[in-house]
Amino acid sequence: MPPNPYSQYEKDGMDKLLQLCKAMCRIVQAWEAVIRAKYGDNTSIIALLDVTLELCALLPAADLEFKAIALDQTLPPSDPSETLGINVDAPPASAPDIT
């Protein structure tokens, strides 16, 4: 079975999403007062601004969790029979028919 191309933490897009969120937070925090002054009567824009600021508050914890995954050096178990998702009673895989 070929390896899953997304099994490495860097290849699932999460690092790019965090970078994008950090850039968005910098912009929103820099321009919050201007946006509130200019669009204060627009409930949709102010709601979006408020939600964005709430998400920005969650960003440091999410970034730390993502970096912790990158540092996880946990070895696989020596007995895979107790690993979730592995059926030790399954028949062995057959060789692929390459002709």
3-state SS, residue 49: helix
- Interval 87-99: pLDDT, tens: 777 787 777 777 6
Domain ranges in the chain are: 11-70
Convert the pLDDT of each residue in 33-53 to its tens digit. Answer: 999 999 999 999 999 999 999
Average pLDDT, the chain: 82
Contact present, 52 and 80 (Cβ < 8 Å): no
pTM of the complete model: 0.58
The pLDDT, as a whole number, for residue 43 is 96
